[in-house]
Amino acid sequence: MSFSRADRSSFSDWWWTVDRLALVAMLGLIGIGLMLAFAASPAASGGPFTEGNFHYAARQVAFAAIAACILGGASLLSPAQVKLVATATFVLALLGSALVLFAGTEVQGSRRWLELGWITLQPSEFLKPGFAVLTAAILAGRARRFSRPLATLLPLVPAVVILLLQPDVGQTFLLLALWAMLLFFAGVSYKWICTIGGGASALGVGAYFLFPHVHHRLAQFLNPDQTGYQAGLALEAFAHGGLFGVGPGAGTVKYRLPDAHSDFIFAVAGEEFGLVLCALIVLLFCILTIRLLLRSASAREPFAQLAGAGLASVAALQAFINMGVAVSLLPAKGMTLPFISYGGSSLFAVALTMGFALALTRQRPLLAQRDAPLFGLSGRAA
């Protein structure tokens, strides 16, 4: 199929305005995730003395197909449509996260998941893209009757309270970090920066004393003579893999590593494909983040600048935390690696996040006037 810039179809408009390099990086990460799903699935479904299968890999292929549709569909939205969809996403995710407290599945003392038959959904994953866009819209608004930074607490506070009740300290940290980054990008005063720093420190101390698992993980991380069970196995996997890895399917440490298909998928990459694949994953995340930040900085609307930068930053931060935990640079968090870890909720949420980012960073000089309505929503940029 061939088309030119003179073609005024919706697909042509999308193709010539979307960041194709960032899109290729996303698809590359999804492809690596599928490859690693096949590598980790036998370990997740079996054990050292139990034959595994490719059940998780098959499900991940289905998840990836749905995520690709979400990514492509979200990238077609106009800025005004992104605001509407993101607001609805945040509200539904907040309600779902609250529902989890009463009807959710409890795993190791936490309630974070809703059983929906074929899939187990974690609503809190979808708070991040919704919150990023909603907060950016507030900060970029023109209202003068109230403090815009203060107004951002309206969506933040209920989300943080619900997350701490689950409890999900990792997602809470990510949401607070995203809020701080958006305020920083918006150029708030040092008073706000100091307030955020003090509040984050107080919450960290409170989490240390209130949540036993946080206390245990942090104490274990700070003890130089003690390495956690998962962290120790992850380091063993990297050492076993070396530079080029032991080969696809030849890994052995993964059979003893809990959550090898999700939280510690990076260790599986290190064991079977070595430092080479790990470096490629890091490189793709760097390309993706830098490209989206640069495109966000060149956007003409303050809303697109803020939202694009926030969406790119939160995905990069989550990737950094996951990989940092895998190589024992950070205490264990129980956080997935975007695009790569197994799980429908994680993959769908990051696809929506990056779809919003692609939509907001499209370079379209007059596209706001040409956008056709989508699902009955106005195509004019706000």
Residue range 246-288, pLDDT digits in tens:
998 888 888 888 888 888 999 999 999 999 999 999 999 999 9
Q: How many CA atoms lie within 13 A of 252 on its CB side?
A: 5
- C-alpha–C-alpha distance, residues 134 and 94, integer Å: 13
Q: For 152-191, what is each residue's pLDDT tens digit? A: 999 999 999 999 888 888 889 899 999 999 999 988 877 7
Band of the pLDDT at 350, cuts 50, 70, 90? Answer: very high
Q: For residues 125 and 159, is the Cβ–Cβ distance under 8 A?
A: no
Is the pLDDT higher at 310 or at 10?
A: 310
> For residue 373, is pLDDT > 50?
no
Which of 19-28, 205-214, 299-308, 344-353 has the lowest average pLDDT? Answer: 205-214
Measure the CA–CA gap between 56 and 43, rounded to whole angstroms. 10
In the three-class reduction of DSSP (H, G, I as helix; E, B as strand; rest coil), residue 155 is classed as helix
What's the mean per-residue pLDDT of the chain?
Answer: 85
Q: Is the pLDDT at 374 greater than 50, yes or no? A: no
Q: What is the pLDDT of residue 193?
A: 76
Are 92 and 126 a contacting pair, CB within 8 Å?
yes
Is 70 exceeded by the pLDDT of residue 372? no
Give per-residue pLDDT as tens, 68-78: 999 999 999 99
Q: How confident is the model at residue 51 (pLDDT cuts 50, 70, 90)?
A: low
Q: What's the mean pLDDT in 108-135?
A: 86
Q: Which of 36-40, 310-314, 361-365 has the lowest mean pLDDT?
A: 361-365
Confidence band for 240, pLDDT divided at 50, 70 and 90: very high
Residue 212 class from Cβ within 10 Å (0-12 exposed, 13-18 middle, 19+ buried)?
Answer: exposed
Whether residue 258 has a cis bond before it, omega within 30° of 0: no
Task: Please say if the pLDDT value at position 5 is more than 70.
Answer: no
Q: And the tokens for 118?
A: 């074929």
Range name among 188-197, 271-280, 336-345 with the lowest pLDDT average: 188-197
Residue 99: name the closest of 188, 40, 165 by CA: 165
pLDDT at 353: 97
Instruction: Provide the pLDDT for residue 112.
Output: 80
- Say what the pLDDT of residue 123 is: 92
Residue 144 pLDDT level (bands cut at 50, 70, 90): low
| pLDDT of res. 379 | 41
Residue 46 Ramachandran class (φ > 0 left, ψ -120 to 50 alpha, else beta): beta
Residue 12 burial by CB count (10 A; 0-12/13-18/19+): exposed, middle or buried? Answer: middle
Q: Which residue has the higher pLDDT, 369 or 56?
A: 56
The arithmetic mean of pLDDT across residues 347-356, rounded, is: 96
Question: Which tokens is 79 given?
Answer: 């800025």
Q: Counting beta carbons within 10 angstroms of the beta carbon of residue 223, is it exposed (0 to 12), middle (13 to 18) or buried (19 or more)?
A: exposed
How much is the pTM? 0.88
Q: What is the pLDDT of residues 84-121, one digit of tens each?
A: 999 999 999 999 999 998 887 777 667 788 887 777 88
What is the pLDDT, as a whole number, of residue 330?
85
pLDDT at 197 over 90: no
pLDDT of residue 148: 83
* Residue-wise pLDDT tens digits, 15-34: 888 999 999 999 999 999 99
Find the mean pLDDT for residues 237-243.
92
Query: Cα–Cα distances in Å, from 92 out to 10, 103, 130, 314, 375?
Result: 29, 15, 10, 20, 18
Which two three-digit tokens encode residue 303? 């809303």
